[in-house]
Amino acid sequence: MSESEADVPRVFRPARALPTDVVRPTRAVVDLDSLRHNLHLLRGAAPGVAIWGVVKADAYGHGAKAVARTLERAGIDGLCVALVEEGVELREAGVTAPILVMGGYYGNAYSELVHHRLTVVLQSEGELEALADAVRRSDGAPLEAHLKVDTGMGRLGERRENWDRWAARLRDRPEIIFDGLMTHLATADRPSTGNAPEQLRNFEGATAIFKRHGLVPRARHAENSAALLGDHPHYDLARPGILLYGVSPFSDGELPASEASRALLRRLRPAMSVKSRIVSLRVLDAGDPVGYGSAFRARRRSLIATVPMGYADGLSRALSNNGELLVRGRRAPIAGVVSMDMTMIDVTDIPGAALGDEVTLLGGRAAPESGEGTHAFEIGATELAARAGTIPWEILTNISRRVPRFYRGA
């Protein structure tokens, strides 16, 4: 061993967490009471339907372990993830609720699925055989699995021409409990123009084929957030995602048909806010540039604030010279290009704007005279998505891991 190697410690002890008052002020706050409130609303919208909350992608950026434990304590019927490792993470965090792994690629992880008692979504006959083999080698009890059929999404699941053969193969696999039959709707968020009715008819056809083979699942499910608020009959189980986090799945002027569903959307409570503070102020003369590429030039004598939050934190670069942040209950336009770590805003028209003022990227507060669910001084994920040319799901999941999460209402 060389001297240089001898000087390198072999064990790295965990670093002491820095106090919150010595790190930058950018942070996300997740209100767990809002999650419970939204879950209660969804139960009321679909009485008798089992609710399995989607907590993939770190619970849409909210923190999967904290969200899953909160929903489990609130009595949710099950949880849905995309990846094996997401399910394992929740099991290792002590979550005991059923966990459905929907992602469709398991590699050589079938033994992990069996060991952690994760519920598999089978997409093909090959996966069926691999899972049955893993159960046999484990000498354990049969494992529950849900089968996915492609009814018109064109992404995952067996297509119609294979349903008969697939059902016959499943019938001969005692290692697998046929617990669920599922599909995914491509256009549930566009009730007036989408093909959801056709997909649901195809799903009924798949149900009939499996029933003809003597296979009747305990649960059928097709409903994501938008479909849960649709005007069709509910199945046994629903898989809401973005609704749980207090954001509407509808855009482009679309809304659910029923007034009850529209009222539910108004009562949602966004669960996450993202805030920072002003760390620099400077007065610019007319014509002075701001930021990379000098993409903004002051049109008048202006007060420009710098906020320590950029696209590496999830503030989309598409909001350059386009978005707004909240300061003192007022909207401050983004001035120039959003950079990796910092963003400038024009606070000229905000009386009293000062160093240390709180700045809100996502969230806000309701006006005292406003009703539940109306936020006079709020910037929501839907608004950010519209300005950035994307969807609210991307806005939430882009809030990066370097933005610490703080939880209230535990």
Spatial contact of 31 and 408, defined as CB atoms under 8 Å apart = yes
Secondary-structure percent of the chain, ordered helix, strand, coil, rounded to 5: 30, 20, 45
Gap between the Cα atoms of 56 and 397, Å rounded:
10
According to the 3-state scheme, what is the secondary structure of 180-203?
EEECCCCCCCCCCCCCHHHHHHHH
Residues annotated as catalytic (active site), given as ranges: 56, 292
Q: What is the torsion angle, in degrees rounded to the nearest 10, for the CA atoms of residue 389, residue 329, residue 365 and residue 248?
A: -20
No. of H helices and E strands in the chain?
13, 20
Map residue 361 onto helix, strand or coil: strand
The backbone torsions φ and ψ at residue 208, rounded to the nearest 5 degrees and listed phi first, read: -65, -40
Gap between the Cα atoms of 266 and 73, Å rounded:
25
Contacts of 288 (CB under 8 A, 6+ apart): 297, 298, 302
